Structure formats: C-alpha cells, structure tokens
C-alpha cells in the first residue's frame, strides 16, 4: 500500500517537473537518433544561463556562452554510438541517443532531466499499451553531466527510476558514496587522486608557498579540501585562497575577479598558483593579468576542468609567455584518429543535421571551415572518457541481451545498472571495469602548454601519474629554476625555526649548533654527529675528530724520553762502577747492597716514565702510576735506611743508640715501607682503577688521556712517598755535620729538597695544564726527582772512585775521622764515646779492626 502511494506521488512529481521544464520556453533543444536502446547525453554545450524577468513576473532562460569544445564532446558520444551500430557489435540491436544541453547550470539541468525519464514513467506505470511504450523508447542510461555540482543533482533525480548516470568529468569524491549515489558511475578518477597528484608536483619542485583559485561549487570545494589535506602533510602552505562564484552569471563575479587579480599581484613571492576555476573564470583573470610585469614568471597548475581549454587566451593579441607557464592535469588521453576522421567526413550541410540542432546551428555559423574548427577543440582526455562510457553501456547491454530478445523485451534501467556493475569492457587493447565505488581509476596525464606559431598546444604530455601514487616524468618536463616560497630555503647547515604568528612555511633559518649538522635543504632539525665526529656551527656534515695524545713523534716527548734514556744509562753506569769497586771504602760507606737496590729502583723509575707517552690504554694507565709509585717508594725507603745507618753510628747517645740498634733492621724497614704503598695501590686498583678516557677539546679534537678516577688514592700514593721523604729529610738533616767521607746526610737532604720542590710545583701545574701535555708534567717531575737522587747520592762517590782514588782508602778515612774528633772536643766521656763510634763505623764499613786512635792531652 505504501509503495503504491509512493509511486503515485513520484509520478505526480515527475509530471510537475515536466510542466516546469516547459514553462517560459517553447521547448528544449535536443539531439536525437532512433534506436532500440536510447542512451541519454547531458553536455554543457552552453556554459551558463542568462535569466530575464518578464513584466508578468515570468522568467526567460537563455543559454549563452557557447562552447565548441563541449559540442565536440557530444559528437564523441555520437561517433562512438554510430560506430557500434555500423559494426553491429550488438547484432541487430541498435543504439540511439537523446542529447540535452545542461547549460552548465544545475537548475536548467533538473528542468531538462525529465525528458530522459518521461518515457520510463509511461513504461513503468503500465498505463499505456506496449505500442505506446515503444514509440517513446525509455532512456536506459545517461552519459554526463560534466560538472560535479550538476552530476550530484541529476543522479539523485535519475535514481528515482534507477537510471544509471556515467559521468566523463564529474570527479568530486562525494559521488563515490554509493549509499547516497547508487546509480552514479564515472570513467575518470575521483578528485582525491588529482589532489594528491598536484601535491606531488608541488613537493617535487619545492613549491611550498602557493596560491589557490577555487569556486563555491561542489567540485572545487571538495578538491580544494583534499589538496589542503595532502599539502599540509608535505609542509606546503596556501598563501591565499580566492573563492569565485561557480555561476558565471553571478552578479558578484566581476568584483570577485577584481579582488582575485589584486590578491595575485600583491603576493609577489607566490610564483605558483593552483586553479580549480572554470575556463571562463581563467579567461577573465588572464585578461586582467596580461599587463602584470610579474606574470611571465608565474606557473599555473590547471586542474582537469580547464587544463585543455586553449580558448581562454586570445593568441591573436597575446602569447603564452605573457601569463607564464601552464601545467595541466588531465585524464588519460584517448586515440583521436577516429574522431578526426569522423569530423573530416562530417556533412557540412546544416539541413542534413536537423536531428542535432546544436551541430546544425554551428554549421550555419561557420560554413565550410566547421570541420577544421571542431578538430581544434578535440580534447584527447574527453575522447577516452566518453568513448569508454559508451563501451561500458554497450557491454552491459550485450551481457543482458545474450539470452533474450531485447527488441521485444527491453531491459529496465535497474537491470542495466546491475549489468554495468558486473561489466568488463575493453578499449584500445585494455580491459576495464567499475570498482565498488563506481569509479574507473585510470591514470592522469600531465601536459605542458606550448606556444605554436598559430595557436596553443595543450596536449604535450610531459608526465604521467598513476593512482598508485607514482610519477613517470618524461624528458621534456623542465620548469627551470622557479621558486615559490614564503622564505628562502634553508641551506644545508641550517634548520627551520617557526616564527610566532606565521604559517609554518614562513620560518627562520637557524645555523646548526656545534656537533650537529643538516645535510638537506629545509631541514626540520639538526642531527647530532656520531661518536668520534664533530662539526662547527652551521655545518652540513660532520668531520672525523682527530685523536690527540702525547705522540711518540712529539718533540717534547722526544726530549723527555732522551733524558729518560740518559738517566737509565747513567744508572747502569753507576751500578757498574759500584760493582767494580765493591770493596772500596766509598762503596762500603754507602751501604753497598742498599745502594744497588736504590739503583735498581731508580732504573725502574726511569722506565716508568716511558709509560706516560703514546696512545693511552687501560693497562698502561694502571701500570704507569703503580710502577712509579712502588719504584719511587722503594727508592725513598732505601735512602731512609741509609740515613738511619749513618746517624745511628754518629749522632745518638748510648742509651738511645742501644735501643735503635735493636730496632734497626734495614731490609725489614724497606719491606714495611713498601707494604704500605702496596696496600694503597692495591686498594686503588680494586676499587676504581685508572682507565683510558677521552674528552673533547676546544678545537674539537678527541683528547685521549688516563683518567685516574680515584683521585684520593692517587693523592694518597704521592703523600705516602712524601711522608717517607720527609722522614729521610729529618734524619739526614740531623747528620749534616758528619765527616766528609761519611757525609751522605748532606746529599740526602739536598735530594729530598729537590724532590719536595718539584712535587710542590707539580700540584698547581698539573691542575692548570690542559690537553695532551698533562702526562708530560708528571714525567718532568719524576725525572727531576730521579735525577736529583742519582746526582746527589752517586755522582760525588763516582767522582771520588774514578777521579780521587787517594780519597778512597782506609788511611784517608782514618784521617778524616781523626780530624773530625780533634775538631769536636768535649768532655772526656764524650770524646771516648765518639772514638768508640768511629771505631765501630770504620770496623763496620771498611773492615779496619786495628784502628789506632792517637792520644791527646785531653785523653
């Protein structure tokens, strides 16, 4: 019951529309051809409608702005249908057509659409005889309309009778919604793909600051929104967006054109403009921009709606270079050979085309040149899209009529729509079919407009874009060094920094900080250098850091190693001398075995200096301090034992001397002193041993050095040696007035003073010196200390042994002791004690048992 009421209401609505379609006009012009199956065609043969109001309030609508290009597009459909009939691709079934002029207007299109549906209503109602139904063959499908705004409105109305509409130009993504538009299909990709293609062109050429011309129509609104979506992902900004009225007869169009032109001229740094406007819009804009001196450097990205419309520029007065470069996005191009042949064979007698008033009128106006003029307005993309739409319908009809006689039982629009969804049709050797959204996703051709001697060539394909998101560029696609940016590109070595209140395309270029780099143009950030690499401020790459340390070929290290070698050689020489004169009084008085141990420790100390040079490693860092600390501790311990030996013999009173003689165990003392240092260095090595480390210097070099890590342990090692040296100094100072032949105390005192001075100076120098020469400071101090001991302890003795042999005798020693006793007179008991000590020293050191002490008056 509800279905019948709905159907009757629908029938009344269509009849009302039919009445409205004839109101104020005699009739609609239409091109027709008889056939068993009628295909509708809706083409904007006129681009706009001029509405006038009569005195009685009625309206007169006159279609104006005749488009020769759109007339050609209607003839593409006619030629394709006639070819199918001639080749009898559908057997004895013929295809006819009913072509209407949409006039580029939604309202006009809706008033004319019932002409496609009237026969369907009669056939569907079943109120008329079969003969009557056959006399008014139903339109089973419609090819058109071209504009998305019209297609959206028309398909809603056609869907009331399930009439499928196949558009060859309506690309709005909204039409892919089959819930809202179940009867709409198209042979062109939807605008989401075109927007992505345009964004790729902008991105590939580095155009990040572009202008956009659009309209308030459905097509332009949708594709502008999609373009913004894709360009925003790529960091491309719209410098301005000018919206023009979609209706060419809008009374505000003139002001909108003026405002748009002013915006274009004012934005001097915008060299690239994307336009989704209609051809007439662009014609008006170009007329205003012809005298703009900046026009020649502009690049225009034309959408499919005007990318093949050369008529927008009057080539008789101006050339393409006056407005700049035009890159067009078009649909896949078809083969125009058959269409050109068809136009060449076109009968130019207007009376022979009474069934096509559009063509007849054109032939009357242009006469014998009609064919040539029509051929100049062939758009290859339209040839492909319209022919493919005809092929799709023909294949669907063939699929439906395989098992039935469609002459007597014609298929319904609903049946044809179902067949179209399943149809697999082919053209030019390729197979096609509609996807679930009713789209046929072919590729885009990118054309570059060229100026010829007589006209504009808008069909030069320079690239192709697949809907699978990749470009194929041809060698002829060259745009020169055109830039369109809000700010200049940030060169390598700089990064983009946003400016408050400005679009992200308007930024500042900040140089990369030290040890960071950027190696691309317009880098978003500076990348840190990898380990062991560095860069200066504003660098585009990182350089390998030079590794710095105290190298073996460094002149300072060579000098220090020379002194080290000399010290080692002198130590060996002294040892040889001592061993060669082992039984002489000088060697014996120097406590020969202890002296050899002392020389051995000096030798190790000199050797430890070598460990402070060259590239450091963890083992070397640990070894050099440990070897120095232990060897120099042994050295100072031996000196301390010698000091105690001499002072013990000469200086102490009998009571104290008796006690100290019991405690005096030289090798045990050395062992105990060494044990203390061993505890310190062992604790250091176990807890936090020195390791090889590195740091970055001011001149961006990687300085390799030994990190002592546990500085208190390092300090404790030096303090421990200093404490032993201080004891040596105190004991030696007490025995500074002994006889010359036993006067080690003076030289020990002097050696310890050298040690103290050098290490006191070491502290502040070590702290303040930086770089690779830090180890050299400690090397110098070690050498000074070692040379001080070597010179003070052994050189005077070697001089006596080698140069003053007369002093290296027992007689000489007795004389020195006798003289010392004569010069230091005291009480009888004191003198007797001294003489006894002298006798002990001589007996102990020179093995002279029979010492005859001369008697004096005081004894």
Ramachandran assignment for 309, one of left (phi > 0), alpha (psi -120 to 50 degrees), beta (any other): beta
Cα–Cα distance for residue pair 185/181, rounded to 1 Å: 9
CA distances from 811 to 737, 802, 816, 841 (A): 21, 18, 9, 14
Please report which confidence band the pLDDT of residue 408 belongs to, taking 50, 70 and 90 as the band edges.
Answer: confident
Give the residue, 771 or 497, on which the prediction is more confident: 497
**By the 8 A CB rule, do 7 and 161 touch?**
no
User: Using one digit for the tens of pLDDT, what is the confidence trace for 554-581?
Assistant: 899 999 999 999 999 999 998 898 888 8
Confidence check: pLDDT of 321 > 90:
no
Give start and end residues of each alpha helix (H) in 22-140. 68-87, 106-112, 114-125, 130-135
Which pLDDT score, from 0 to 100, does residue 94 have?
A: 93
Give the residue, 386 or 118, on which the prediction is more confident: 386
Whether residue 567 is found in the same domain as residue 500: no
Which pLDDT score, from 0 to 100, does residue 81 have?
A: 96
Whether residue 521 is found in the same domain as residue 561: no
Cα–Cα distance for residue pair 149/152, rounded to 1 Å: 5
Note whether residue 666 is domain-resident.
yes
Please report which confidence band the pLDDT of residue 832 belongs to, taking 50, 70 and 90 as the band edges.
Answer: very low
Confidence check: pLDDT of 151 > 80:
yes
CA distances from 587 to 573, 578, 683, 761 (A): 14, 6, 38, 34
Q: Which DSSP symbol is given to 138?
A: P
**By the 8 A CB rule, do 384 and 131 touch?**
no
- Over pLDDT 90: what percentage of the chain? 36
- Give the number of other Cβ atoms within 10 Å of residue 378's Cβ: 20
Note whether residue 664 is domain-resident.
yes
- Average pLDDT of the chain to the nearest whole number: 82
Confidence check: pLDDT of 502 > 70:
yes
DSSP assignment of 69-99: HHHHHHHHHHHHHHHHHHHTTTTT--EEEEE
Which pLDDT score, from 0 to 100, does residue 814 have?
A: 67
Partners of 275 in beta bridges: 213, 302
Cβ contacts of 253 within 8 Å, gap of 6 or more: 244, 245, 247, 284
Give the residue, 532 or 518, on which the prediction is more confident: 518
Confidence check: pLDDT of 666 > 70:
yes
Q: What's the average model confidence in pLDDT over 371-377?
A: 90
Whether residue 55 is found in the same domain as residue 167: yes
Q: What's the average model confidence in pLDDT over 753-776?
A: 82
Give the residue, 653 or 138, on which the prediction is more confident: 138
Note whether residue 234 is domain-resident.
no
Whether residue 535 is found in the same domain as residue 569: no
Last residue of a domain, one of 785, 813, 838: 785
What is the residue whose two structure tokens read 């093949």? Answer: 308
CATH of the domain at 183: 3.40.50.2300
Confidence check: pLDDT of 813 > 70:
no
Note whether residue 289 is domain-resident.
no
Which pLDDT score, from 0 to 100, does residue 843 have?
A: 45
CA distances from 399 to 95, 167, 181, 563 (A): 15, 21, 24, 106
Cα–Cα distance for residue pair 158/170, rounded to 1 Å: 16
Tell me the helices (H) and strands (E) count for the chain, helix number first: 27, 29
Note whether residue 327 is domain-resident.
no
Partners of 534 in beta bridges: 543
Q: Which of 496-505, 692-701, 777-786, 828-837 has the lowest mean pLDDT?
A: 828-837
Whether residue 93 is found in the same domain as residue 152: yes
Whether residue 499 is found in the same domain as residue 566: no
Last residue of a domain, one of 432, 457, 479: 432
Round to the nearest angstrom and report the end-to-end CA distance of the chain. 162
Whether residue 611 is found in the same domain as residue 506: no
Q: What's the average model confidence in pLDDT over 722-743?
A: 71
C-alpha dihedral (544, 548, 553, 559), degrees to nearest 10? 170
Last residue of a domain, one of 749, 765, 785: 785
Please report which confidence band the pLDDT of residue 767 belongs to, taking 50, 70 and 90 as the band edges.
Answer: confident
Note whether residue 163 is domain-resident.
yes
Confidence check: pLDDT of 514 > 60:
yes
- Angle between helix axes 114-125 and 148-158 (nearest 10 degrees) is 10
User: Using one digit for the tens of pLDDT, what is the confidence trace for 683-704?
Assistant: 998 888 888 888 888 777 888 8
User: Using one digit for the tens of pLDDT, what is the confidence trace for 24-54?
Assistant: 334 578 999 999 999 999 999 998 888 777 7
Whether residue 522 is found in the same domain as residue 626: no
Give the residue, 438 or 841, on which the prediction is more confident: 438
Note whether residue 209 is domain-resident.
no
User: Using one digit for the tens of pLDDT, what is the confidence trace for 337-352?
Assistant: 999 999 988 887 888 8
Element (H, E) at 681: helix 666-687
**By the 8 A CB rule, do 195 and 328 touch?**
no
Which pLDDT score, from 0 to 100, does residue 481 have?
A: 76
CA proximity to 439, closest of 400, 395, 392: 392
Note whether residue 426 is domain-resident.
yes
Confidence check: pLDDT of 645 > 80:
no
CATH of the domain at 753: 1.20.1070.10
Cα–Cα distance for residue pair 461/723, rounded to 1 Å: 94
Q: What's the average model confidence in pLDDT over 648-660?
A: 62
Q: What's the average model confidence in pLDDT over 103-124?
A: 77
Into how many domains does the chain fold? 3
Whether residue 51 is found in the same domain as residue 178: yes
Cβ burial of 730 (10 Å; 0-12, 13-18, 19+) is middle
Cβ contacts of 386 within 8 Å, gap of 6 or more: 73, 76, 77, 80, 143, 168, 187
Which pLDDT score, from 0 to 100, does residue 737 have?
A: 59
User: Using one digit for the tens of pLDDT, what is the confidence trace for 172-184?
Assistant: 889 999 999 999 9
**pTM of structure:** 0.63
Confidence check: pLDDT of 202 > 50:
yes
User: Using one digit for the tens of pLDDT, what is the confidence trace for 587-619?
Assistant: 777 777 888 898 999 999 999 999 988 888 888
**By the 8 A CB rule, do 222 and 193 touch?**
no
Which pLDDT score, from 0 to 100, does residue 134 have?
A: 38
Partners of 544 in beta bridges: 533
Six token digits for residue 424 = 């697999």
Please report which confidence band the pLDDT of residue 667 belongs to, taking 50, 70 and 90 as the band edges.
Answer: confident
User: Using one digit for the tens of pLDDT, what is the confidence trace for 1-18?
Assistant: 333 433 443 443 444 444
Confidence check: pLDDT of 200 > 70:
yes
**By the 8 A CB rule, do 743 and 642 touch?**
no
Whether residue 649 is found in the same domain as residue 774: yes
Confidence check: pLDDT of 796 > 70:
yes
User: Using one digit for the tens of pLDDT, what is the confidence trace for 426-479?
Assistant: 988 889 999 999 998 788 889 999 888 777 888 888 888 887 656 665 544 556
Six token digits for residue 596 = 């050899």
Which pLDDT score, from 0 to 100, does residue 420 have?
A: 95
Cβ burial of 548 (10 Å; 0-12, 13-18, 19+) is middle
Q: Which of 552-566, 665-679, 816-830 has the lowest mean pLDDT?
A: 816-830
Whether residue 540 is found in the same domain as residue 559: no
Whether residue 537 is found in the same domain as residue 620: no
Phi, psi torsion values for 376, nearest 5 degrees: -70, -15
Which pLDDT score, from 0 to 100, does residue 242 have?
A: 95
**By the 8 A CB rule, do 775 and 612 touch?**
yes
User: Using one digit for the tens of pLDDT, what is the confidence trace for 209-265?
Assistant: 999 999 998 889 999 999 999 999 998 999 999 999 988 888 899 999 999 999 999
Host domain of residue 594: 555-575+583-785
User: Using one digit for the tens of pLDDT, what is the confidence trace for 295-305?
Assistant: 788 899 999 98
User: Using one digit for the tens of pLDDT, what is the confidence trace for 265-301?
Assistant: 999 889 999 999 999 899 999 988 887 877 788 899 9
Give the residue, 734 or 287, on which the prediction is more confident: 287
CA proximity to 72, closest of 386, 291, 317, 319: 386
Element (H, E) at 600: helix 592-610
**By the 8 A CB rule, do 681 and 712 touch?**
no
Confidence check: pLDDT of 497 > 60:
yes
């Amino acid at each position: 019951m509800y279905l019948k009421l709905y159907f009757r209401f629908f029938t009344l609505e269509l009849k009302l529309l039919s009445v409205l379609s004839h109101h104020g006009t005699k009739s609609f012009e239409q091109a027709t051809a008889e056939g068993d199956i009628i295909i509708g065609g809706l083409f904007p043969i006129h681009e706009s409608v001029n509405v006038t109001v009569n005195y009685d309030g009625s309206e007169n609508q006159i279609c104006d702005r005749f488009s020769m290009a759109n007339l050609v597009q209607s003839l593409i459909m006619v030629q394709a249908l006639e070819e199918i009939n001639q080749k009898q691709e559908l057997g004895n079934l013929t295809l006819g057509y009913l072509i209407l002029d949409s006039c580029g207007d939604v309202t006009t299109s809706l008033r004319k659409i019932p002409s496609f549906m009237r026969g369907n209503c009669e056939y569907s109602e079943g109120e008329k005889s079969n003969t009557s139904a056959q006399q008014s063959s139903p339109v089973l499908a419609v090819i058109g309309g071209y504009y998305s705004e019209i297609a959206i409105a028309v398909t809603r109305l056609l869907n009331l009778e399930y009439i499928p509409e196949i558009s060859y130009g309506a690309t709005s993504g909204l039409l892919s919604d089959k819930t809202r538009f179940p009867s709409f299909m198209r042979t062109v990709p939807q605008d989401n793909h075109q927007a992505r293609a345009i964004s790729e062109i902008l991105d590939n050429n580095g155009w990040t600051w572009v202008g956009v011309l659009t309209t308030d129509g459905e097509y332009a609104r949708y594709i502008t929104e999609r373009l913004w979506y894709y360009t925003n992902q790529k960091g491309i900004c719209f410098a301005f967006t000018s919206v023009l009225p979609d209706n060419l007869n809008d009374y505000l169009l003139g002001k909108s054109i003026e405002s748009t032109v002013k915006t274009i001229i004012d934005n001097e740094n915008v060299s690239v403009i994307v336009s989704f406007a209609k051809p007439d819009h662009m014609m008006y804009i170009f007329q205003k921009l012809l005298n703009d001196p900046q026009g020649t450097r502009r690049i225009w990205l034309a959408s499919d709606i005007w990318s093949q419309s050369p008529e927008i520029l009057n080539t008789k007065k101006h050339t393409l270079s006056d407005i700049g470069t035009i890159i067009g996005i078009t649909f896949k191009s078809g083969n125009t050979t058959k269409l050109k042949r068809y136009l060449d064979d076109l009968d130019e007698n207007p009376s022979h085309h009474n069934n096509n008033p559009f063509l007849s009128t054109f032939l009357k106006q242009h006469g014998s040149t009609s064919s040539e003029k029509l051929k100049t307005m062939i758009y290859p993309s339209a040839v492909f899209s319209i022919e493919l739409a005809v092929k799709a319908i023909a294949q669907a009809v063939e699929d439906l009529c395989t098992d039935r006689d469609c002459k007597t039982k014609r298929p319904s629009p609903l049946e044809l729509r179902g067949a179209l969804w399943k149809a697999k049709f082919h053209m030019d050797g390729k197979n096609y079919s509609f996807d679930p959204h009713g789209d046929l996703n072919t590729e885009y051709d990118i054309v570059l407009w060229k100026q010829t001697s007589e006209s504009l060539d808008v069909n030069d394909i320079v690239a192709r874009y697949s809907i699978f998101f990749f470009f194929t560029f041809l060698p002829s696609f060259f745009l020169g060094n055109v830039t369109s940016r809000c700010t200049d590109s940030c060169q390598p070595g700089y990064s983009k920094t946003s400016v408050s209140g400005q679009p992200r395309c308007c930024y500042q270029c900040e140089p990369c900080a030290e040890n960071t780099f950027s190696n691309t143009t317009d880098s978003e950030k500076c990348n840190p250098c990898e380990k062991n690499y560095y860069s200066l401020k504003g660098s585009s790459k990182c350089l390998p850091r030079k590794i710095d340390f105290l190298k073996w070929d460094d002149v300072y290290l060579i000098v220090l190693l020379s002194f080290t070698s000399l010290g080692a050689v002198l130590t060996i020489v002294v040892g040889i001398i001592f061993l060669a004169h082992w039984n002489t009084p000088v060697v014996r008085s120097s406590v020969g075995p202890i002296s050899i141990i002392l020389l051995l420790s000096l030798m190790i100390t000199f050797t430890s200096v070598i460990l402070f040079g060259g590239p450091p490693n963890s083992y070397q860092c640990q070894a050099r301090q440990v070897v120095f600390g232990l060897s120099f501790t042994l050295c100072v311990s031996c000196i301390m034992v010698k000091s105690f030996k001499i002072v013990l013999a000469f200086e102490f009173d009998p009571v104290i001397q008796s006690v100290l003689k019991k405690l005096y165990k030289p090798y045990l003392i050395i062992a105990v002193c060494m044990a203390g240092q061993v505890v310190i260095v062992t604790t250091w090595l176990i807890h936090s041993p020195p390791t090889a480390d590195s740091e970055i210097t001011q001149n961006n070099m990687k300085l390799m050095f030994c990190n002592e890590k546990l500085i208190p342990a390092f300090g404790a090692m030096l303090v421990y040696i200093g404490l032993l040296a201080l004891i040596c100094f105190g004991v030696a100072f007490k025995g500074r007035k002994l006889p010359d032949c036993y006067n080690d105390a003076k030289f020990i005192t002097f050696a310890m003073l050298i040690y103290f001075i050098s290490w006191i100076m070491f502290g502040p120098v070590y702290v303040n010196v930086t770089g690779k020469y830090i180890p050299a400071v400690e090397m110098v101090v070690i050498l000074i200390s070692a040379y001080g001991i070597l010179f003070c302890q052994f050189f005077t003795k070697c001089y006596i042994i080698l140069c003053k042999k007369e002093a290296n005798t027992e007689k000489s020693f007795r004389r020195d002791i006798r003289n010392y006793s004569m010069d230091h007179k005291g009480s009888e008991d004191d003198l007797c004690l001294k003489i006894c000590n002298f006798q002990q020293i001589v007996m102990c050191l020179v093995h002279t048992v029979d010492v005859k002490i001369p008697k004096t008056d005081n004894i």
